[in-house]
Amino acid sequence: MEIPVLETQRLRLRSYVLEDFAAYATMWADPEVTRHIGDGSPKSEAESWTSLLRTAGHWQMLGYGSWAIDEKAGGRFVGGIGFNNSKRDRGDALRDLLEIGWMLAPSASGKGYATEALQAALEWGGTHFGPVRVIAITAPENFASMRVAQKCGFKEFLRGPSLGRPRVFFDRIL
């Protein structure tokens, strides 16, 4: 499957390539990046490798997935964003809902990149999926991600556990 390339004023969202692995693994190994994701722990090189392969597999198996985010000026890899279905057990009400998530390297934080990338991904999603419900999940102390979600039209609908940690669930229709 050909993965679409999305462009914004400052960013390029593209498929991951093998050459991204070093920067990807460095990002996932950074405690500042991972503190609000999953169990909050940095990922090993092996876990990052598995994650990168799973990301590629999403596109292959489901026709959607995550993009690498590059700065247009200089082409530097700064993060990732995309749609997923992780098959996590969150009960029947949330089973198989389309989820979107994003993460940025610390050097890219605070520049509006997450909002810019999310707007582009949601626009693609609206065209690709049509009017469907999509959720975004974050830690209650991750105020930056909550602001990004809200700027992009997400509304909080639930607070509860995910992977054993407190989470805030947001949703919107594409």
- Which of 61, 48, 57, 60 shows the shortest CA–CA distance to 21? 48
Burial of 57 per CB tally in 10 Å (0-12, 13-18, 19+): exposed
116 in any annotated domain: yes
Q: Tokens standing for 87?
A: 């098959």
Other CB atoms closer than 10 Å to residue 102's CB: what's the count? 22
109 in any annotated domain: yes
Q: What residue numbers bound the domain in which 91 lies?
A: 6-173
Give the residue carrying structure tokens 């057990």: 89
Given a contact cutoff of 8 angstroms between Cβ atoms, the answer to whether 148 and 114 are in contact is yes
147 in any annotated domain: yes
Other CB atoms closer than 10 Å to residue 89's CB: what's the count? 10
Beta-carbon contacts of 156 under 8 Å, excluding residues fewer than 6 positions away, are: 146, 168, 169, 170
Strand order in the sheet with 165-173: 6-7, 11-14, 66-71, 77-84, 98-104, 133-138, 165-173, 155-162
Q: What is the CATH number of the domain that holds 118?
A: 3.40.630.30
Given a contact cutoff of 8 angstroms between Cβ atoms, the answer to whether 105 and 30 are in contact is yes
Question: pLDDT 10s per residue in the chain (174 long)?
Answer: 799 999 999 999 999 999 999 999 999 999 999 999 988 999 999 999 999 999 989 999 999 999 999 999 999 999 999 999 877 766 777 778 899 999 999 999 999 999 999 999 999 999 999 999 999 999 999 999 999 999 999 999 999 988 788 999 999 999
113 in any annotated domain: yes
85 in any annotated domain: yes
Beta-carbon contacts of 71 under 8 Å, excluding residues fewer than 6 positions away, are: 10, 11, 12, 78, 108, 113
1 in any annotated domain: no
Domain count, the chain: 1
CA dihedral 5, 11, 15, 18 (to 10 degrees): 150
Which pLDDT does position 89 carry in this prediction? 65
111 in any annotated domain: yes
List residues bridging with 104 in a β-sheet.
Answer: 79
pTM: 0.94
31 in any annotated domain: yes
